[in-house]
Amino acid sequence: MSEPVAPVWLDAGSVPAETMHALYAGMAACTREEDPMRVLWAVSRQAHVSVGASQNAALDLDLAGCACQDIPVVRRPLGGGAVWIEAEQPCFFLVLPRQVLARGHRHLFSLGMGLAVAVLRQLGLGAVEMRSQDIWVRGRKIMGTGAATLENGCVFGASFLRCFPAERFLDCLHEPSEGYRDWVLPALREGVTDCARELAAAPDNEAFRSALWSALQQRFGVAPRAVPLAPDDQAAWIERGLEEIEDLEQADTHSAVPSGIRINRANHVFETRSRCGRLRLHVAGTQIRRIWCEEPRIDSVLQENVIGLAPERLVLRANLGGRLEPALVDEISCRIDRLYRGIRTP
Per-residue model confidence (pLDDT) at position 339? 94
Q: Average per-residue pLDDT in the chain?
A: 95
DSSP letters of 224-239? -EE----HHHHHHHHH
Residue 56 CB coordination number (10 Å)? 14
Per-residue model confidence (pLDDT) at position 343? 84
| Distance of alpha carbon 221 from alpha carbon 87, whole angstroms | 33
| Distance of alpha carbon 261 from alpha carbon 241, whole angstroms | 28
Per-residue model confidence (pLDDT) at position 103? 73
Mean pLDDT for the stretch of residues 339-343: 90
Per-residue model confidence (pLDDT) at position 104? 76
Q: Residue 164 is which amino acid?
A: F
Question: Dihedrals φ, ψ of 100, to 5°?
Answer: -85, -5
Per-residue model confidence (pLDDT) at position 188? 97
pLDDT tens for each residue of 267-298: 999 999 998 899 999 999 999 999 999 999 99
Distances (CA, A) of 261 to 185, 267, 277, 312, 313: 11, 9, 20, 19, 21
Mean pLDDT for the stretch of residues 34-39: 96
pLDDT tens for each residue of 191-247: 999 999 999 888 999 999 999 999 999 999 999 999 999 999 999 999 999 999 999
- Planar angle of CA 43, 49, 53, nearest 5 degrees: 95
Per-residue model confidence (pLDDT) at position 121? 97
pLDDT tens for each residue of 56-112: 999 999 999 999 999 999 999 999 999 999 999 999 999 999 998 877 788 999 999
| Distance of alpha carbon 17 from alpha carbon 336, whole angstroms | 37
Per-residue model confidence (pLDDT) at position 1? 47
pLDDT band per the 50, 70, 90 thresholds, residue 3: low
pTM for the complete prediction? 0.93
pLDDT tens for each residue of 7-17: 999 999 999 99
Per-residue model confidence (pLDDT) at position 95? 97
155 pLDDT above the threshold of 60: yes
257 pLDDT above the threshold of 80: yes
Residue 282 CB coordination number (10 Å)? 21
Q: If residue 338 lies in a helix (H) or strand (E), which one and from where to where?
A: helix 326-344
Contacts for 33 with CB less than 8 Å, ≥ 6 apart:
97, 99, 152
pLDDT tens for each residue of 307-328: 999 999 999 999 999 999 999 9
Long-range contacts of 217-224 (CB under 8 A, 24+ apart): 218/118, 219/111, 219/114, 219/115, 219/118, 220/4, 220/5, 220/6, 220/7, 221/4, 222/3, 222/4, 222/5, 222/6, 223/6, 224/6, 224/7, 224/8, 224/9, 224/39
